[in-house]
Structure formats: C-alpha cells, structure tokens
Structure 1
Amino acid sequence: MTQPAATAVRAATSRRIAALALPALVVLAAEPLYVLVDTAVVGHLGRIPLAALAIGGTVMTLIAWLGTVVAYGTTGRSARRFGAGDRASAVAEGVQASWLALGVGVLVALGMQVGGGALARTLAGGGGEVADAAGQWLRIAALGAPGLLLAAAGNGWLRGVQDTRRPVVFVLGPNLLSALLCPLLVYPAGLGLVGSAVANAVAQTLSGVLFAAALVAERVSLRARPRLIGQQLVLSRDLLIRGLAFQASFLSATAVAARFGAATVGAHQIALQLWFFTALLLDALAIAAQSLIGAALGAGDDAGARALARRIGLFGAACGAVFAVLIAAGAGVVPGWFSSDPQVHEQAMVAWPWFVAMQPLAGVVFALDGVLIGAGDVRYLRNLTIVAALGGFLPAIWLAYGLDLGLGGIWAGLTLFVVIRLAALLLRLRSGGWAVVGAVR
C-alpha cells in the first residue's frame, strides 16, 4: 500500500463524494436525455416510426443494461487495485473488461443482423409496418453495440481510478454530436427512421473508440487474459442475476396494475418512471461509493471503509429526503405533465404517499448497494435481491390483486421490497463481513 493511496482514502470527504457523484450523474443522464431528443425527432415522422423506435429502443436499452453490469463489476475491482497503489493493474482490469465488452458487443451486432427482424416481429406481436420498420432500425442501431459496451467497460475502470473528467467528455460529446446529427439525417438528408439508427450507431461507436484510445494511452499490456476475464464474468453473473430479479418484479407489478384497468396502469407507469428517474440520480452516489470503497479496501483501510460507508449511507438518506419533499410538493402538478385524464390523476394520488415515503429509505438502499458492489460483496446483494423479490415484493403485489387492493397494494409491495433490502443491508454493514481488504477479493 502506498501512502498517496491511503491519504486519498482518508480524504474521502463529502466534497470528494460529490466530486465523483456529479460527473457520474452527467454520464448517467446523457443517454436518457439523448433518447428523449431521438423520440421527439422521430415522433414527428408519424405513429408507425415512433412505435418502431419504441420497440427497437427497448432492445437497445437491454443491451445498455448489460453494459451497466460490466461497468459496475469493473469499477470495484479496478478501485481495489488503485487503492493498493497499483494503477497499472487497475487499468489492466479495464483492458480485460474491454475485451469482454467488445466480444459481447460484436456477437450482439451480428446476432441482430440475423435475428433482429424476427425479434422485432415478436415484440410487435406479429408482422406489419411497425415490425418491419423496427427490424430495420434495430439492425442498423445494433452496429453501435460494440462501442456501447466498450464505453461501459471504460466507464468502469476510469471510475475505479477516480478519473471523473474523461468519462463525461467521452460520453457527453458523442451524444451531443448525435443529437445534432439525428434531425439532420432524419429530415434534410431524407433518411427518416434509418437516420435515427445511424445517429445512434455513430454516437456509440465514437464513444467506444474514445474509451479504447484512453486504454491505449495508458501504455499497459493489451493482451487478453482469460483467467481475469473469467473472474469478471463471475462478478457480472451475480449482478446480472440480481438485475433479472429486479426486472421480473417490476414487470409483474405492471402486469398486476394492468388488471385493475387502464387508469390504474397509466398512473402506475407515471409513478414508476419517476421512481426510476430518482433511482438514476441516486445511482450517481452509488457509483461514487463503488470507487471510494474499493479504493479504501484496496489500500487496506477497513476502518476508513466502514466510516466512509456510514457517511455515504447518510448522504443517501439526505438525498432521498430532498427528493421526498420535492415529490410531495409536486403531487398536484407532476401527474398532469404526463396525462390529462382525471381518473389517472386520481389513481396517481393513491400511489403518491408510498412514493414519497419510500424516497429516504431508497436513498440509503441505493447508496449501500454501491458500498457492497465496491467491496465486491455482490453475492450477498444477489441473494438479498432474490429473497426480497420472491419473499416480499412478488407475493405482496399478487396478494394485492387477489384482495383487490388496487394500486395502493402494489406500491405497498414495492415499499416492502425496499424495507427488506434496507434492513438486510444495515445488518450486513454492521457485521463488517463485507469489508475484506486487499487488492482483490
């Protein structure tokens, strides 16, 4: 352990946490904001292109989620090496993650050329204009998959070495370029929906190239190391299983809401998407936690890591409390941004108290998720998420359906999901079993 690394760990004040979290927030927000621009541009082409974009965009969102799994797994491992004073090994984690990302990205791109049309038809519920347009969009946009996943791996190792500047430039720059390119290709160039797909692929490829160039500039060995890639795959597997438990839970919640009628599922969609948005903001804090906790444990400073975990948890609670106040204040206004239907507004008010009350709890949960990911304690997180989903969230929402509890019952189930995770995370934090020191776990 080198003295500079230990000093950096001890200096992880609230200002340092914010210095890592805020750039991460910019990176996290860049893609969703670009999607909004893309949707607005394509929306003026008509109903069919917009529907096609919705189908193709859903597939690309799932691919981006795979990238998030790679990034989160890389950050903790890279941060541990960095905290131990071995920057070259920290970057080497990024090299192997990039090989993994590139391989998966190429497979996805090739797979979409062969099966993109069939996948689009499946999601569209059959053939027709929408399915054909979605398949064409997907085949072109998927060419950007290698760049998209390379960028995710690059975000992972750069966060691990606590470089917050370059990820912002490498992600925001290409997305801004694409936001300008998209309307030009769609309208003046006359490419229509195809122009949107080309703009997506260009942005993602450029971003991936920038992150790959950053690796080359580090002057480390670029040779693939299968053993190290295998270790990263184990970590990614646990994060992937955890993510699938989330996806199954939220899909089930939407399915139950739909059984209560159009107004109920519409209100649920509004509240849930806002909940996802606040989760995105809090994920920036979790990313800072991954970097700082990994560095602390890599430097052998378990006491510092524990103190930092408590500070990050309090930070998450404070952020969640601020969100709760803002959401409560917007109760009579925000649902109207998304629907003019009075029945939807009425149902949204059923979910709103749960939505507000959950925020401080969720703030702590997301922050501590970042702590344990940074510590490499992802098996515990995987098991916890499965238990909370199968033992709490899923039974609660289907019970809400059986007892006709409506949207309030569904959101009570989501709150139970958060409470179970919060209790288990606090117990894990107190036990100290997560705080394993060393360059690798």
Structure 2
Amino acid sequence: MTRPAAPSNTREILRLAVPAFGALIAEPLFLLADSAIVGHLGVAQLAGVGLASTLLYTAVGLMVFLAYSTTPAVARAIGDGKLGKALAAGRDGVWLALLLGTVLAVAGFLAAEPLVGLLGADGEVRGYAVEYLRWSMPGLVAMLLIFAGTGVLRGLQDTRTPLVVATAGFAVNIGLNWFLVYGVHLSVAGSAIGTSIAQWAMAAVYLVMVGRNARRHDVSLRPDWRGIRTMTSVGSWLMLRTLSLRLAILATVFVVTAQGSVNLAAHQLAMTIFSFLAFALDALAIAAQALIGKELGASRPMRARELTHTMIRWGAGFGVVTGVLLAAGAPWVGFLFTSDGGVQSALTAALWVLAVGQPLAGYVFVLDGVLIGAGDARYLAIAGVVNLAVYAPLLAAVHLIRPDGAAGLVWLWLAFALGYMLARGVTLGLRARTDKWMVLGSH
C-alpha cells in the first residue's frame, strides 16, 4: 500500500518545491547582484554593504513570520474546506505587514548610524554602511508586503505565481542597480535605490492579487483587528525563533569585524552564498509548510508523516549535491565579486567549510519547514534559544583565540556551519520523532 504513495508524494512536493526554489532565491539573488556590482567599487564599499545588509536582513528576518504564519493558517483552512477563512487570514497578514513595515522603515532611517556603530565599523566602511542602509529603508515596507502576499499564495498551494514575480523583479533589480551605480554614479546608494524600486514593483503585484481573490469570494478588504491580533500572537513565537537565528548571525558578524576588513568582506560574500543556498534548500521547507498545514487541516496525520519522511531524505540529498558543487567551485567564486587576492583566499577557505555542512543544512531546513507548517511555533522559539546558548561559547572561543588571516574565518565558519547547525538539527530532530506537533483541523 505504501508503494503507490511515493509517486504521489513526489508529484505534490515537486509541484510546490520547484517553483518555490526559483522564487526563494530571488531575495538572495538581489543581495548577490548588489555584492557583485558594489564589489568592484572597492573593499570598503563591499564591507559597508555587507554590514548594512546584515542589519537590514535582521529586521526583515524578524518579520518573516508574516509569511511563515500566513502560509500554515491559509493552508489549514484550505485543507478544512474553509476558503473564506483562508483569504481573511491572508488579508490580515497583508495589513500587519504594512503597519510593521512603515514603523520599521522610519525607525531604521533615523537609527542607521548608531546601528552600524554597534557592529564596530568605522571610517569609510561605516559611511558606506549608513548610506546603503538609509536608502534601503523605502524598500523595507515592500519586502514585508511581499512576505505576506507570498505566504497567502503558498497557503493556497500556488508557488508558481511567486516564481514569475520574483524572476521579473530580479531582472528589473539588476538593470536598475547597474544603471544607478555606474551610469548615474550613485555608488552604494544607487544599489539600494534600485533594489527598493524593484521590491515595490513586486509588492504591487501581490497587493492586486490578494485584493482580487478577496473580492471574488466576498471577503472584505478592511482589516479585522481581532484577526491581526491572532496573527501577531502566533507570530510572536516565530519572531522569537527568528530572533535567535538573527542574533547568531549578528554575533558572528561582530566577531569577524574584529578580524579586519578583508575577513569581513570575505565573510559577507560567504554569508551571501550561504543565504543563497539556504533559500534553495528552503524550497523543500516551503513545500513542507504548505503540504503539512493542508494535511493536518484535513486531519490526515499519517499522510503528514509520510510527506515529512520523504522531504527529509530529499533535503539531505540535495545538501550533498550543493555541497559537492560548492566545494568544486570555491576556488573560483571569489573572482566574480572582487579582485582583492586576500578576500578571494579567505572566501575559498570559508566556502569549503560551508560545503561540508550542506547535508546537515538540508536536514535542518526541511524539519524547520515541517514544524512551521504544523504551527509548532512555541517549540521552535524555545529550541532557538537553546541553540543560541550552545553556539555562544563556540563563538566566544573563536573571538578570544583570534587566529590570524584566513584561519580566523575558517574557525568562525566551523563554529557556525557545523556547531550551530548541528545544535539546530538535534533540537528539531527530537521534536519530529514525537507526535506532539501534529495538531489536527483548522484553528
């Protein structure tokens, strides 16, 4: 009886994961494009954009619950046959994104200089970081709206539309950035402005689609403040989970900043590539969120368990493939972003460590998606705090020892890509072995 189920699992997963892969990598591709364009301006510009991007994506990362809470809420309602409830949840997510995005954008613009200073940057690097961060703030609101709109469509089992939107946005982003940086000579500000414009164009598409779906099914576009409060309550646990992840990344940046601008620039590139691969591996996690939410909403726990086992195998296998490809290409990747030999050498060493950790990363990202899809936000938040407590001593040891040159970056990535990710794998794996996360029906 289990034999016929495998092809069905495969079709369902691929139907969502393949388009999700293209859509997910759009955001890190924005950053990769920025890094490639800005990297040829100089090391200080690249390092400044790296610091600003860390702060920017910390704020954005904390708000990822707008997608991660909307997707399972919509998917559960769809599985339970309640389309109106699904669309109402999506609408409330969009309103919450607009409110939070506006507040964060204003605060980020006003606090850009002290925020950059907290990471220990000074001189030219600090100036470029502040400039990039401030010009990125208009696009922050759009990024949050994109999260919410994408979450709605994923919950509706549609990952193809986000792929089309993301592809078009990426093309516009590259063209605008190149023109504004080199054509108009706006330096790092041009890169931030171009990305913001592209993100608003993408957000507009999602707003139109969510509005049309709601009107077609007689769902009011006005905010339901009770629904928004419910979304915020669920999202608070996911925010804590994400906060622990971002604190780990911020602490890592703080340590590498003390190693000098060469290692900082190389780390920025390595982290960008890590993010790119993470989003690629996360395609399975997105499929997990949508499928697990739908199956639990339809009260089919055995089906949810089958899908989980299949996606775990796929995640680890895909991690092996990306690891091998990354290890083979590591010596040449640096040439795409910078002509500085020191940065290229340090980057190569860091990427080899990252390559070794890819199978573990695949396992972690899939299980993370499964538990998010199940709405197990409280456990994910608590586990995130535990993982951070495990990582802190490893990071402190690297900071205190301070190995010279590229060796410092290698030890830093050993602590992050292997030590921290292993802690995440253990806490997620232990939870997945139980049935406590399998809450059935829409709620």
**TM-score class normalised by the smaller sequence:** 0.7 to 0.9
* Residue aligning to 2:319: 320
Please tell me whether residue 16 in structure 1 is matched to residue 12 in structure 2.
Answer: yes
Q: How many residues align?
A: 429
Change (3 A) 1:357 1:295: same
SS at 1:277 equivalent: helix
Per-residue CA deviation, residues 97-156 of structure 1 (Å, 9 max, x unaligned), is 000001112223333555556656777857x88767765655554223322211110001
Matches within 5 A, 1:276-295: 276-295=275-294
Per-residue CA deviation, residues 223-248 of structure 1 (Å, 9 max, x unaligned), is 21122212211222222222222222
Worse-matched range after superposition: 239-248 or 106-115: 106-115
CA distance in 2, matches of 1:164, 1:35: 22
CA distance in 2, matches of 1:193, 1:269: 15
Please tell me whether residue 81 in structure 1 is matched to residue 77 in structure 2.
Answer: yes
Q: Is the 8 A contact 1:159 1:291 kept in 2?
A: yes
TM-score by length of 1: 0.82
Matches within 5 A, 1:202-221: 202-218=197-213, 219=215, 220-221=219-220
- After TM superposition, give the deviation of residue 435 of structure 1 in Å: 0.8
Change (3 A) 1:396 1:46: closer
Q: What amino acid sits opposite 2:177 in the alignment?
A: C
Worse-matched range after superposition: 39-48 or 201-210: 39-48
Percent of aligned pairs with the same amino acid: 36
Q: Is the 8 A contact 2:49 2:129 kept in 1?
A: yes
Q: What amino acid sits opposite 2:168 in the alignment?
A: G
Q: Is the 8 A contact 1:12 1:292 kept in 2?
A: no
Q: Is the 8 A contact 1:80 1:295 kept in 2?
A: yes
Matches within 5 A, 1:270-281: 272-281=271-280
SS at 2:375 equivalent: coil
Change (3 A) 1:349 1:426: same
Change (3 A) 1:420 1:339: farther
Matches within 5 A, 1:52-201: 53=49, 56-112=52-108, 114-116=110-112, 138-186=133-181, 195-201=190-196
CA distance in 2, matches of 1:184, 1:241: 39
Q: What amino acid sits opposite 2:419 in the alignment?
A: L
* Residue aligning to 1:417: 420
SS at 1:221 equivalent: coil
SS at 1:431 equivalent: coil
Q: Is the 8 A contact 1:124 1:130 kept in 2?
A: no
Q: What amino acid sits opposite 1:215 in the alignment?
A: V
CA distance in 1, matches of 2:127, 2:118: 11
Q: Is the 8 A contact 1:64 1:149 kept in 2?
A: yes
SS at 1:224 equivalent: coil
Worse-matched range after superposition: 323-332 or 289-298: 323-332
Gaps of 5+ in 1: 1-8
- After TM superposition, give the deviation of residue 27 of structure 1 in Å: 1.7
Task: Indicate the RMSD between aligned Cα atoms, in angstroms.
Answer: 3.7
Gaps of 5+ in 2: none
TM-score by length of 2: 0.82
Q: Is the 8 A contact 1:174 1:207 kept in 2?
A: yes
Please tell me whether residue 229 in structure 1 is matched to residue 228 in structure 2.
Answer: yes
Q: Is the 8 A contact 2:28 2:276 kept in 1?
A: no
Change (3 A) 1:322 1:137: closer
- After TM superposition, give the deviation of residue 33 of structure 1 in Å: 2.2
Larger Rg: 1
SS at 1:76 equivalent: helix
CA distance in 1, matches of 2:145, 2:345: 42
Per-residue CA deviation, residues 36-66 of structure 1 (Å, 9 max, x unaligned), is 3344445666777767655654444334324
